[in-house]
């Protein structure tokens, strides 16, 4: 019996997703590192890339053919919504119109830096979900030069009108410049934290999302996330994390 047209050989699907040549992907399957819908895959398996849940080393593989994942460096003054009633530029003005993507979370109008845009609903959902605790790192240029007591407060948690903030990583990079890493995603959180300790923010730039950063990406530029970056993000949001050092497959 011939296989239905929608089914592709697993090694072909993996190779297309960037895991290496078909031969390399056959080896991954033979080494039992690949599962399809929870079952260890075997050579000869075929899958429907639009519906199958394929994991490599326990990390969800981005196999659907129409999925795109962009890393965008948002300039200040650009809104993180699909449409702006006031006619301002939105983040969607900077990436291809098709396939249609949406921002993963949001940055304030005046905040700059890294933002993921994708049509991968499950990954976006996981990245935004507070329970997954994905780290977001910011450089904050503040008014004044925060002293150790203020930095300690930011680290331990500050009282905001919607409750205490979770412990954060905070380092003084230089006078008036802080590196702040949080894993919550409350509205205007970093600005409100710095306000709360008496050091309002003058400039805020997001420099990392999970294990993904790119100091060479200029404001207004975007690029596709690489497979190793996607693997790191999928690992970061996984309830059952895979190996701590994901395979660099591209
Ligand atoms: N925290 C803020 O205050 N603003 C952002 O845009 C992101 C995090």
108 belongs to the catalytic site: yes
The residue with greater pLDDT, 47 or 5, is 47
Q: Is the CB of 191 under 6 A from ligand 1?
A: yes
Task: Tell whether the model's pLDDT for residue 190 goes beyond 50.
Answer: yes
pTM equals 0.85
Q: Is the CB of 195 under 6 A from ligand 1?
A: no
Bridge partners (DSSP) of residue 181 are 137, 169
Confidence band, pLDDT 50/70/90 cuts, at residue 122: confident
Task: Tell whether the model's pLDDT for residue 239 goes beyond 80.
Answer: no
Element (H, E) at 35: strand 34-36
Ligand 1 pocket test, candidate residues 106, 110, 111, 142, most atoms within 8 A of CB? 111
Q: Are 49 and 63 a contacting pair, CB within 8 Å?
A: yes
User: Length of the chain in residues, anyone?
Assistant: 250
Q: Check residue 1 and give its pLDDT.
A: 52
The single residue of 27, 57, 84, 108 carrying the catalytic annotation is 108
* Domains along the sequence of the chain with CATH: 8-60 (3.10.290.10), 69-231 (3.30.2350.10)
Which positions ≥6 away from 212 have C-beta within 8 Å?
A: 71, 114, 116, 225, 229, 232, 233
Ligand 1 pocket test, candidate residues 168, 206, 207, 209, most atoms within 8 A of CB? 206
Q: How far is the CA of 198 from the centre of ligand 1 (A)?
A: 17
Q: What is the pLDDT of residues 49-62, one digit of tens each?
A: 989 999 999 988 98
Q: Check residue 130 and give its pLDDT.
A: 81
Q: Check residue 5 and give its pLDDT.
A: 56
Confidence band, pLDDT 50/70/90 cuts, at residue 2: low
Average pLDDT over residues 132-156: 96
Q: What is the pLDDT of residues 20-70, one digit of tens each?
A: 999 999 999 999 999 999 999 999 999 999 899 999 999 889 898 889 999
Element (H, E) at 5: none
Q: What is the pLDDT of residues 58-101, one digit of tens each?
A: 988 989 888 999 999 999 999 998 888 898 999 999 999 999 99
Q: How far is the CA of 190 from the centre of ligand 1 (A)?
A: 5
């Amino acid at each position: 019996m011939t296989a239905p047209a929608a089914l592709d050989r697993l090694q072909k699907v993996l190779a297309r997703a960037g895991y290496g040549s078909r031969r390399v992907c056959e080896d991954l399957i033979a080494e039992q590192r690949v599962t399809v819908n929870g079952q260890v895959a075997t050579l000869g398996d075929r899958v429907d890339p639009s519906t199958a849940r394929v994991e490599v080393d326990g990390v969800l593989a981005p196999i659907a053919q129409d999925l795109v994942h962009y890393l965008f460096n948002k300039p200040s003054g650009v809104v993180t919504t699909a449409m702006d009633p006031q006619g301002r530029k939105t983040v969607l003005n900077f990436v291809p119109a098709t396939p249609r993507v949406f921002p993963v979370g949001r940055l304030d109008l005046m905040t700059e830096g890294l933002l993921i845009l994708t049509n991968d609903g499950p990954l976006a959902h996981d990245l935004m979900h507070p329970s997954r605790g994905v780290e977001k790192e910011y450089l904050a240029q503040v008014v004044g030069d925060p002293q150790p007591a203020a930095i300690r407060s930011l680290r331990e948690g500050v009282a905001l009108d919607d409750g205490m903030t979770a412990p954060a990583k905070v380092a003084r990079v230089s006078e008036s410049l802080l590196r702040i890493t949080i894993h919550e995603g409350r509205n205007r959180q970093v600005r409100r934290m710095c306000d709360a300790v008496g050091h309002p923010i003058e400039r805020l730039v997001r420099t990392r999302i999970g294990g993904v950063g790119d100091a060479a990406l200029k404001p207004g530029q975007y690029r596709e996330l690489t497979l190793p970056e996607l693997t790191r993000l999928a690992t970061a949001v996984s309830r059952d994390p895979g190996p701590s050092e994901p395979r660099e497959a591209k």
